[in-house]
Amino acid sequence: MPIRAFLQHHWPAITITVTAAAIGYAAFVMLSNMPPHRIVMATGPEGSAYYEDGKRYQAALAKAGVEVQLLSTAGSVETAALLRDPHSGVSVGMIQGGVVGAANTAGLESLGTVAYEPLWWFHRRENQGAGADGLRGRKIAIGPQGSGTRALSLELIKRTGMERQIGELLALGPREAAEQLTAGKIDVAFMMNSWGAPVIQQLLADESVALSGFPHADAFVALYPFLNKVIVPRGVTDLARDQPPADVTLIATKTTLVVRQDLHPALQYLLLNAATEIHSRPSIFNRANEFPAAEAIDMPLSSEAARFYKSGLPFLLDYFPFWMAELLGKLIILLIPILGVLYPMMRFLPGLYDWAMRSKSSAHLRRAEALGRRNGKRPRQRARHARGDCAARPPGGAGKPPQSASHLCEHAVHVAKSYRPRARRGAQASRKTS
């Protein structure tokens, strides 16, 4: 059977099959892109605020059925490297804004800033000296390799011109630095952490340790736009003992919640919702609901984060679990084009069916007329077939197939019917004339 004839006779079935195949393929593609139920989050070293916040994210996402595996790192530099590596498995982490630099954040996106993270400057209380002079000849802990503390501390020490006057720089993490500082094994410890970090509270409460400020904080903020000036108020640690005895000025970065660009949008919304629960509380450095904030430091804000800060969560997430909301959202997206195709198809289907039937009738009529012209020498036999038994012997001899005879009979009947109204109109016209 020719392809054209096959399509003409079976177009309804072909249309339904093609539509069903398209729907099935679209459903397969969408369902195969469902969000995973497990992600890896880089948190920074144990004892840091990032590690404690990671536990809070882990608990918040567990309520939505997502498992968060925490991975300790040396700090922001290592976290950024893991996020850039597609084979590391890490898809979310917290980075100190401005410390890593825009050149090291390719392929990453920001979900906004979530907290201030000051650079704390602790020293032994018996050591005298203000500002950079307090570093001369001292043993100083500046954080391990790969940490944001080390990167920022080295930059500030270099800016003040003290790199050749320092006794020794030690790559110690927050916990180890705190232990050696309280034991008197080192003189100064720099560490970037939030106000609520356990190691910070431990050092603030220790009578053998004092907190230093940055006399040139305004200059640092002017030179490094990603830095901010924050104040530790007098007596905030212990009002009874008036600790600290005066306001202390620190410089601080803002912590950025960072994800890979290919992280599923549904998981980004879950992380943003968790960030609102975790970081919206007030602190001595920020007001309530100041964080998370739609700020992009070193990397662009993701499109999901921009929509979240403008309109909040998608409405389906307010009523359904995240996996069901994602499935319903995909089904809605799938149904819109399907309905857009099926509605006009169902509307014009009767017309298409009539057109197909008329096409078939016209084809049969042309065949009958052709047979009639070839057998035009016996009009009386065609008339007899039209008036009487159509199953009679065909007018062309016994050699004609019965199918041709039936077509001729149908044609004769059609011609006879078409001429009757004309005969009646002619008779009426003659009566009027007479």
What are the Cα distances from residue 429, in Å, to 53, 146, 156, 419, 422?
102, 108, 114, 15, 11
pLDDT, position 36: 83
Give CA angle at 144 (166, 185), nearest 5°: 55
234 close to 245: Cβ distance less than 8 angstroms: yes
What are the Cα distances from residue 278, in Å, to 271, 273, 294, 338?
10, 9, 16, 41
pLDDT, position 165: 84
Torsion of CA 407, 411, 416, 421, to 10 degrees: 140
pLDDT, position 3: 64
Per-residue pLDDT for the chain (434 aa), expressed as one digit of tens each?
Answer: 566 666 556 666 666 676 677 666 666 655 556 678 899 999 988 778 898 899 999 999 998 889 999 999 988 999 999 999 999 999 999 999 988 887 778 899 999 999 999 999 999 998 876 677 778 889 999 999 989 999 999 999 998 888 888 889 999 988 999 999 999 999 999 999 999 888 999 999 999 999 999 999 999 999 999 999 999 999 999 999 898 999 999 999 999 999 999 998 889 989 999 999 999 999 999 999 999 999 988 899 999 899 899 988 876 777 676 666 666 666 666 666 666 666 666 666 666 667 767 777 777 777 777 777 766 554 444 444 444 444 444 444 444 444 444 554 455 445 445 544 444 444 454 554 44
Query: For 347-352, which contacts have Cβ atoms below 8 Å and span 24 or more sequence positions?
Result: 352/11
The SS3 of residue 229 is: strand
In this structure, the strands spanning 38-42 and 67-71 are parallel
Place of tokens 């197939």: 401
Across-strand partners of 192?
A: 119
User: CA-to-CA distance for 270 and 4, rounded, in angstroms?
Assistant: 54
pLDDT, position 353: 65
- Residue by residue, DSSP assigns 15-75 as HHHHHHHHHHHHHHHHHTTPPPSEEEEE--STTSHHHHHHHHHHHHHHTTT-EEEEE--SS
pLDDT, position 106: 85
User: CA-to-CA distance for 33 and 147, rounded, in angstroms?
Assistant: 35
The first and second tokens of residue 395, run together, are 């007018």
The first and second tokens of residue 61, run together, are 């996402």
The first and second tokens of residue 224, run together, are 């490094």
How far does CA 321 lie from the centroid of its chain? 17
> Within a 10 A sphere around the Cβ of 210, how many other Cβ atoms?
19
Among residues 168, 169, 161, 165, which one has the least CA distance to residue 136? Answer: 165
pLDDT, position 367: 76
User: CA-to-CA distance for 27 and 35, rounded, in angstroms?
Assistant: 15
What's the CATH fold of domain 38-313? D-Maltodextrin-Binding Protein; domain 2 (3.40.190)
Which residues 6+ apart lie within 8 Å of 56 measured at CB?
274, 278
371 close to 408: Cβ distance less than 8 angstroms: yes
Give CA angle at 267 (254, 324), nearest 5°: 150
What are the Cα distances from residue 174, in Å, to 148, 150, 269, 305?
12, 11, 32, 31
How far does CA 301 lie from the centroid of its chain? 12
How far does CA 266 lie from the centroid of its chain? 6
- Phi–psi pair at 391, nearest 5 degrees: -90, 5
Helix 322-374 and helix 3-31, axial crossing angle in degrees, nearest 10: 180
Among residues 125, 131, 163, which one has the least CA distance to residue 251? Answer: 131
Please report which helix (H) or strand (E) contains residue 168, including its range. Answer: strand 168-170
The SS3 of residue 325 is: helix
The first and second tokens of residue 136, run together, are 């001369």
In this structure, the strands spanning 90-96 and 38-42 are parallel
> Within a 10 A sphere around the Cβ of 57, how many other Cβ atoms?
24
CATH 3.40.190.10 occupies which residues in the chain? 38-313
Which residues 6+ apart lie within 8 Å of 78 measured at CB?
42, 146, 147
pLDDT, position 197: 87
pLDDT, position 313: 80
197 close to 52: Cβ distance less than 8 angstroms: yes
